[in-house]
Amino acid sequence: MNAPTAPTALTAPARHHRHPRLPLQLRPSASWGVPAVLAVLYGGWVMFVAHNQGSTIPTAAVFGVVSAAVVGALCYALGRMTPGLMPEIRAVLYGTVLGCALGFLHSVSGGSVYRASGIGLGAGLVMLGMSFYVFHVWAEHPRE
């Protein structure tokens, strides 16, 4: 019935054409990976807090996505821009971003403007001090 039959003509062996490999290597990179993770976490946190304060789910989702995009873009810009800057300026930039992010998050939770500003300023100053210390210790004692 459907029994295999012998080939009637000699067939050439099938040749597999190899496509040249592109030098594109998909490795996770901290330059976009860390800002993306921070953006997703921050946006989710903003969305959660906004929804708990009485916003509807679509409004809270838009609020979270916009916040995530802004924080992600700022973190990506900081990661790309700061390695060539002086440690003092880097510390100020890191403190500013953290202070603004936490102050905004507290204002979303319903806190007063003064309290949100105070929390943002305090967090920013702590981050400034910590990052200033870390940048100067690494500059004085580089890894071997």
Spell out the per-residue pLDDT of the chain, length 144, in tens.
566 666 565 555 556 666 566 555 556 677 788 899 999 999 999 999 999 998 999 999 999 999 999 999 999 999 888 888 888 999 999 999 999 999 999 999 998 999 999 999 999 999 999 999 998 887 767 666
What number of other Cβ atoms are within 10 A of residue 110's Cβ?
13
List the structure tokens of 56.
């509807």
The pLDDT assigned to 73 comes to 95
pTM of the model: 0.73
Dihedral of CA atoms 45, 51, 52, 54 in degrees, nearest 10, equals: 150
**Which pLDDT score, from 0 to 100, does residue 135 have?**
86
User: 3-class DSSP state for residue 59?
Assistant: helix
pLDDT value of position 103:
95
How many Å apart are CA 40 and CA 46, to the nearest integer?
10
